[in-house]
Chains A and B, each alone.
Chain A
Amino acid sequence: MTDISSQSGYEGRPEAGLSDYVQLMKPRVMSLVIFTALAGIVAAPVDVHPVLTLASIICIAVGAGASGALNMWWDADIDARMARTIGRPISAGAVEPGEAMALGLGLSILSVAMLSIFANLLAAGLLAFTIFFYAVIYTMWLKRWTPQNIVIGGAAGAFPPMIGWAAVTGEITVTSCLLFLVIFLWTPPHFWALALFRKEDYAGVGVPMLPVVAGEAATRRQIFVYAALLLPIAVAPAFSAAGGPIYLAVALWATVRFAREAWLVRQRTAEMAEADEYAAEKRLFVTSISYLFLIFGALMADALLRSVIGDFGWPVWF
């Protein structure tokens, strides 16, 4: 008796593969979280064993991934109706919503518990709060309720360097708060640039992003305001315990460039933007991503410089 299964026409929803679960955790967001958390650890003025550094980073990354899974679980209904997100694992039918929720909850608990063991309770508490803030405060409440959603909700993305710093120092300091503020002020222009050229998507699902609620002109003004505010805040860490000449130079150059591109966006009208398919807005969005990598990369470069040549008398004001 032969056993030739006719399996060419599999009926039913596809089963999720490993890559689907990886996509569920928003790996691109995770990479940014890992980088900024690592910067917080490396820039801290303490010696840390590399194994403990790696363990802390893994916990923070898993916590970020768990937040992403919970976000995708809650937003599955609108993700399925937006061009940008329709390919996500739940919208695509690969992962069941319940699976995503279970994975998100399970990894949240695991990452927080492990970080409390590998590092300390303060870092674990900050990670737990970050996950809660992103999944509950931002995703379940603010995102669909107020145009200030990503201003307030952006705090969730600003915590990783503070968590990294707390993991190795056991405390929250002015320096770690400054690093938090850099990302907090960076978030609105980053997401509003995206929202400008994805306006129809957000309007179609009823998410009150600023361009949908207040119009493009107001959004362009706000983008520049936050970019301008970023200048003194982004430079301040140069004169903190984590700063140095490399960070000062990079922060000045990168933030002026960012503010300049924000100013160009501010000067444009909707008609000008539609004529070139929002080229300047897309450029600002891409610039904003590289900005964060440059800033926090410079922080790590200064830490490396200090480890090589020792204290070189750089002024520390914070």
Chain B
Amino acid sequence: MAGLQKEHEIHTRRRGRNLGVLGMLVALAVLLFAVTIVKMGPQSGNPTAGATWGESLMNWARE
């Protein structure tokens, strides 16, 4: 026979609390990521931005 479970108000509180913590952790991660991108400057994530294909190859060869 299937069990009947009535959700108690305490479960609602716990779910709300857990979702709140999850939301804040995600927001913190997003904020840290965004600040990192900003502080690394306009070339962040693409050190050879603006360089031609040939220049990028030469830079790589030198490294």
Q: A and B: partners?
A: yes
Residues of A within 8 A of B (CB): 1-5, 7, 10, 14-19, 21, 49, 51-52, 54-55, 58, 117-118
26 CB contacts below 8 A, A to B, read: A1-B1, A1-B3, A2-B1, A2-B3, A3-B3, A3-B5, A4-B6, A5-B6, A5-B8, A7-B8, A10-B9, A14-B10, A15-B10, A15-B14, A16-B17, A17-B13, A18-B20, A49-B38, A51-B34, A51-B37, A52-B35, A52-B38, A52-B39, A55-B35, A58-B31, A118-B35
Q: Does A17 lie within 8 Å of B8, measured CB to CB?
A: no
Given A15-B14, A18-B16, 7 further pairs, Cβ under 8 A? A2-B1, A3-B5, A5-B5, A17-B12, A51-B37, A54-B31, A58-B31
| B 1-41 contacts with A by CB, 8 A | 1, 3-6, 8-10, 12-14, 16-17, 19-20, 31, 34-35, 37-39
Q: Give the nearest-CB partner of B21 in chain A.
A: A18
> Cβ of B17: which chain A residues have Cβ within 8 Å of it?
16-18, 21
> Cβ of A21: which chain B residues have Cβ within 8 Å of it?
17, 20
Q: Give the nearest-CB partner of A12 in chain B.
A: B10
Q: Does A51 lie within 8 Å of B13, measured CB to CB?
A: no
Q: Does A17 lie within 8 Å of B16, measured CB to CB?
A: yes
- Min CB gap A54→B, angstroms: 8
Q: Does A2 lie within 8 Å of B4, measured CB to CB?
A: yes
Contacts A2-B3, A58-B31; A10 near B8 (Cβ below 8 A): yes
For the complex, give the distance between the alpha carbons of A18 and B39 in Å: 33
> Cβ of A15: which chain B residues have Cβ within 8 Å of it?
10, 13-14
> Cβ of B39: which chain A residues have Cβ within 8 Å of it?
52
For the complex, give the distance between the alpha carbons of A4 and B20 in Å: 29
> Cβ of B19: which chain A residues have Cβ within 8 Å of it?
18
For the complex, give the distance between the alpha carbons of A216 and B6 in Å: 56
Q: Give the nearest-CB partner of A3 in chain B.
A: B3
> Cβ of A52: which chain B residues have Cβ within 8 Å of it?
35, 38-39
Contacts A16-B17, A18-B17, A18-B19; A51 near B4 (Cβ below 8 A): no
> Cβ of B4: which chain A residues have Cβ within 8 Å of it?
2-4
For the complex, give the distance between the alpha carbons of A55 and B17 in Å: 23
> Cβ of A118: which chain B residues have Cβ within 8 Å of it?
35
For the complex, give the distance between the alpha carbons of A156 and B31 in Å: 27
For the complex, give the distance between the alpha carbons of A58 and B6 in Å: 39
For the complex, give the distance between the alpha carbons of A4 and B31 in Å: 45
> Cβ of B6: which chain A residues have Cβ within 8 Å of it?
4-5, 7
- Min CB gap B15→A, angstroms: 9
For the complex, give the distance between the alpha carbons of A21 and B6 in Å: 26
For the complex, give the distance between the alpha carbons of A14 and B11 in Å: 11
- Min CB gap A294→B, angstroms: 30
> Cβ of A7: which chain B residues have Cβ within 8 Å of it?
6, 8
Q: Does A10 lie within 8 Å of B10, measured CB to CB?
A: yes
> Cβ of A58: which chain B residues have Cβ within 8 Å of it?
31
- Min CB gap B55→A, angstroms: 29
For the complex, give the distance between the alpha carbons of A79 and B48 in Å: 60
